[in-house]
Structure 1
Amino acid sequence: MKRYLFLWTALLLAGSVPAQSYDGLWPGMNNLFQLSDAQSRSVSPENFSGEKGQGGKADPADATTPNRANAALAARDLGRGWKVNPYIDIPSGETFTLADIEGPGAIQHIWMTPTGNWRFSTLRIYWDDETTPSVECPVGDFFAMGWGEYAPLSSLAVCVNPGSAFNCYWPMPFRKRCRITMENLNDEEPMRLYYQIDYTLTEIPEDAGYFHAQWRRANPTRNSEYTLIDGVEGQGHYVGVYMAWGVHNNGWWGEGEIKFYLDSDRDFPTICGTGTEDYFCGSYNFDRDGVYQTYNTPYAGLHQVIRPDGMYRSQQRFGLYRWHIADPIRFSRNLRITIQDLGWRHGGRYLPQQSDIASTVFWYQKEPHAPFPVYPDWEQLEVN
């Protein structure tokens, strides 16, 4: 039968797919018992290739070679096989290839613990020998930590756990090749990274789309409207967004409607929301008794509220996510998404705002994808 991959995956996560439709890609509780010919593999600093039987082979004698025996000193009494290279260091201005995998297969889980300024570390993912990335964004924003500060997050697609453990569960199929890189844009210090990328080698359905993620920012917004994504061309479906929203004015800030322009919609969208907090599955200003209430759910949350402290924190800042796992928004030709930047002012009037908004949009589509906007330099990335 025809497999609509993402709906199928969402149902798997919910444990509601009949066992006979499971082919070893993404199991759910309802079919976890079912065996498969898929092969499990994992890339980490202890096994850069991910090949079978090649983990934990780092030699302490290679301590003079960068990223080959970084913990040789700690392992000096135990020797080879005892946690000799559990992490990498990425010098300022350099890019490191975290994984280069031959397919067909699918990324199932990514775990990492990046140090330093999370806005200054750029994660990129390339599918099937493409020359421009399908994923390009600061590592903090990819894992819903755009303000550079830890906040616990528990959802189906992304989890951030103590002390700063980033986890991603977006399924990422590929047919020929997957290449993942990290660039350190910080001109002051190296980046230390522990990471593990878990994947399966298996056949991929013909109708499987490729995972994409794109970062944008406006500081401040213009004309009180922010564009989350534009210029997406081809067939696919939008599966969610993380937003780092910094407010420059007093009062409630989230009156703006989100609008989805599907398949050449022009002046008016096909899907129009009713307010910012409503889109993120909250209501009435996220407010109980005059206090913002943070929340984590499988599909949506306001997981971070950063309040002014009278010293260096001068504005309110918010972290929000909305995953369309059970309700992907499908497009056949193109996609554009905007959100209004509106608050309240005297007399019950809307207040056009000029906020600092950054977003990371996630979607699946057929390749090739349209070119991404030029990636900004550190001045446009920095939280300020």
Structure 2
Amino acid sequence: MSSVSGLFKDLTSVKKARNGRLASWDQRGKNQDYWEIPAGESITLGEVEGPGCITHIWMTSSCRRVKAPSILDPVLNASAAPVMEIAPPLGVIWDDYDPYYYRKVLIKMTWDDQENPSVYVPFGDFFCIGNCYPGNFSSLPFNVSLKPEEAGRYGAPCSVSCYFPMPFNKKAKIEIINENELPFILYFNIDYEMYKEPLDEETAYFHACWHRENPCKGWGPELQVNSPEVNNVTNYKGENNYVLLDVKGKGHYVGCNLTVKHFQGSWWGEGNDMFFIDGEEYPSLNGTGTEDYFNHAWGMQRNAYPFFGTIVHEGDTDGFQVSYRFHITDPVRFENSLKVTIEHGHANHLSDDWSSTAYWYQVLPTTMKMEMPPVEDRLPVVPVLPERKLEKPELTEEMKAAIESYEKRWEVYKPARDEQFRIKEAKARRESKLNTEFAKKLRDEYDK
């Protein structure tokens, strides 16, 4: 046995494994290296036979509505890079981002022969994109990268990565569920390893779930945070705490991301984290404040570190904060059950909008039946501008002709563009099957 230690000690040992990849690469050998996932449809990115382990996931996505006839040919442009369709500068094309698609699309992962999925989370929230508002950050298990000109926008396209290892003994199945009324563009690479020998019976499998309370049930949202009236209320058992995770089984909790939209205008923190391990009546792990749980203090700072940090700061937005905390070196272990909670304001006096993704590992079977609220209950709370009342001047004959020409061109352009969407959607369905077939072929060759 090697005596080498350290975070990257596995790199010093040669192991018996074969690499594989599920990807959206154009299997026709062309350069349309993305899938167009149809509206209201679920697409399997691939199924992989075990034993194995997913080691890395990279994705980038977009979702947009065609609003007007482009001067670009809809058939020729369909074969160009989609960036040609996305960028609207200079009025060449006018596509409108769906600002909330990160919550309308779900990612689902199922291990082995489980009836229940082990991962079932809105696409954006899984990758720490809170309220559909991406922010650049780099942690050990997750990264988000977006261009400067895309920053500060709901629904901005970006790249996302996940490095949590995801073992499976018999099978891994990864699905994207598009509950939007628009197609969903997805590029992806899902890297995995195959092993000769079955996984140990005590192997802990990766899990993730999403939760939202909008609003949290606060008993005194009109009372100022840190006022003596609030601070002298007691909360020993965590009644009405926000619940990040409530799970039965054997395993360990490895962290979360948390999005808070605050409405009082003071400070949304001061709530203690409380961990109830194996059915405890009183929490054995009791914190000192929400910002303290995220390893910050005196409020939240604008930083992002390997294990904790801020992704989106409340001072840079319309009043919401996205934070993360990963228990990589300090997982919270449980033998029978675990309940992870945080007070929303001291003793739960605030009525803010909280949403979170919890990540944990546990031995199968997955007994939690994950449920997802409908799309309308997942959308973020955002400011709404007053409706504009427009008054047009009297139109000249040239103006009338211009509008008529534009409308006629739209009548021709829209069905042609829609047809290209349908062609790309058929390609995604076809390559979904090809991905699983190729993974099976790779497995069979490795097992010889």
TM-score, normalised on structure 1? 0.77
Which residues of 2 match residues 158-197 of structure 1 at below 5 A?
A: 158-163=142-147, 164-187=158-181, 189-197=182-190
Q: Determine the C-alpha separation between the residues in 2 that align with 1:263 and 1:29.
A: 32
Query: How far is the alpha carbon of 1:82 from its aligned partner?
Result: 4.2
| Amino acid in the other structure paired with 2:174 | I
Find the counterpart in structure 2 of residue 155 from structure 1.
Answer: 139
**CA–CA distance in 2 between the matches of 1:353 and 1:308?**
22
Paired AA for residue 194 in structure 1: Y
Contact 1:18–1:31 (Cα < 8 Å) also in 2: no
Structure 1 position 306, deviation (Å): 4.3
2:13 to 17, 21, 34: 34
RMSD: 2.0
Residue number among 254, 260, 274 corresponding to 2:288 in the alignment: 274
User: Which residue does 1:6 correspond to in 2?
Assistant: none
- Check conservation: 2:117, 2:370, Cα contact below 8 A: no
Structure (1 or 2) with the greater strand fraction: 1
Runs of 4+ off more than 6 Å: none
Cα distance in 2 between the residues matched to 1:282 and 1:262: 24
Compared CA separation, residues 89 and 167, structure 1 to 2 (3 A): same
C-alpha deviations, 1:217-253, integer Å up to 9, x for none?
A: 00000146311122x1111100001111110111122
CA contact (8 A) 1:214 1:372 kept: no
Q: Distance in 2 between matches of 1:131 and 1:351?
A: 36
Farther off after superposition, 367-376 or 121-130? 367-376
1:140 maps to 124
How far residue 130 of structure 1 moved from its aligned partner, in angstroms, is: 1.4
Which amino acid letter does the alignment assign opposite residue 15 of structure 2? S
Structure 1: gaps spanning 5 or more residues: 2-16, 22-26, 47-55, 60-80, 287-292, 344-349
Match of 1:228 in 2: 244
Once the two structures are TM-superposed, the CA of residue 379 in structure 1 deviates from its matched residue by 1.1
The one-letter amino acid paired with 2:334 is: F
Q: How does 1:1-384 map to 2 (within 5 A)?
A: 18-19=3-4, 29-46=8-25, 58-59=27-28, 81-83=29-31, 85-116=32-63, 117-163=101-147, 164-187=158-181, 189-202=182-195, 203=197, 204-223=199-218, 225-230=241-246, 232-266=247-281, 268-286=282-300, 293-307=301-315, 313=318, 316-342=319-345, 352-384=349-381
SS in 2 for 1:285: coil
Contact 1:113–1:193 at 8 Å: present in 2 too? yes
Larger RCO of the pair (alpha carbons < 8 Å, separation 6+): 2
Larger Rg: 2
* TM-score for the superposition, normalised by structure 2: 0.66
TM-aligned CA deviation for residue 171 of structure 1: 0.6
TM-fit CA distance, 1:34: 3.0
Measured against aligned partners, the alpha-carbon deviations of 1:164-219 in whole angstroms (never above 9, x if no partner) come to 110000011110000000011112x1100000100000143333201110000000
- Structure 2 unaligned regions, length at least 5: 64-100, 148-157, 220-240, 382-448
Closer/same/farther in 2, CA of residues 307 and 283 from structure 1, 3 Å limit: closer
Contact 2:37 2:183 (8 Å CA) reproduced: yes
8 Å Cα contact 1:240-1:321 kept in structure 2: yes
* SS of residue in 1 equivalent to 2:242: strand
Gap change, CA 1:336 and 1:30, over 3 Å in 2 = closer
